[in-house]
Amino acid sequence: AQSVAQPEDQVNVAEGNPLTVKCTYSVSGNPYLFWYVQYPNRGLQFLLKYITGDNLVKGSYGFEAEFNKSQTSFHLKKPSALVSDSALYFCAVSGATNKLIFGTGTLLAVQP
Amino acid sequence: NAGVTQTPKFQVLKTGQSMTLQCAQDMNHEYMSWYRQDPGMGLRLIHYSVGAGITDQGEVPNGYNVSRSTTEDFPLRLLSAAPSQTSVYFCASRSDRGGNQPQHFGDGTRLSIL
């Protein structure tokens, strides 16, 4: 069965500092990996995806993620955090099945 | 394009009542799905469909029914509401069946069961 783990319920970072939101996955076969962001009272918005190819994936709003097959990880990163980045972030994976399974989410809080 | 539209946005039901959550997309997407979001549990897949006339169960299908008579619509039915079904429900669609395209989400239906 496929699964996603986001080990941190919340990540706190000061504005201007780099941020990392962690994600590990378990799936049969090659993974399709995604990051989504959710703002209050809204649906999820797509940030970036890894399907194949370069392990460093760039996405919207300056976010990027690094795929590490040996560690089965897909951590979300940004070099310099903004207060407006504060939101709930979800990692998701689909594999041999076509179901997209989500992690439990990580709340990112960026302090001014 | 409106994208994915969910109605109603809010609903309060009594235990045992039935209702249908509506979901429509105008992007001609084959794949549609329903999730519920609960605090600390992320999004859990309820049911999904890879095309008109085809549906399948996700992680938490009990207590919910779906049908897909058209490409555009994918309603979710609660046959006999229970307090455990209090949640925020999201509908999503994507263009491919295979899973390598991102999903587009509606803004959700906030459902309370008393």
Beta-strand relationship, B54-57 and B109-113: unpaired
For the residues A48-58, what does the mean pLDDT come to?
92
Partner A contacted by B35 (CB < 8 A):
yes
What is the structure's pLDDT at B1?
64
Residue stretches of chain B with pLDDT short of 50: none
How does the average pLDDT of chain A come out, rounded?
A: 94
Helix or strand (DSSP H, E) at B108: none
Q: Is the pLDDT of residue A1 over 70?
A: yes
Nearest chain B residue to A33, by CA: B100
Count Cβ atoms below 10 Å from residue A56 Cβ, excluding itself: 11
What is the structure's pLDDT at A91?
97
Tens of pLDDT along A59-103? 999 999 999 999 999 999 999 999 999 999 999 998 777 788 999
What is the structure's pLDDT at A12?
98
Nearest chain B residue to A2, by CA: B59
Cα B39 to Cα A55: distance, rounded to the nearest angstrom: 31
What is the structure's pLDDT at A62?
95
What is the structure's pLDDT at A28?
84
Partner B contacted by A31 (CB < 8 A):
no
Question: Rounded to a whole number, what is the distance in Å from the CA of A58 to chain B's nearest CA?
Answer: 15
Partner A contacted by B43 (CB < 8 A):
yes
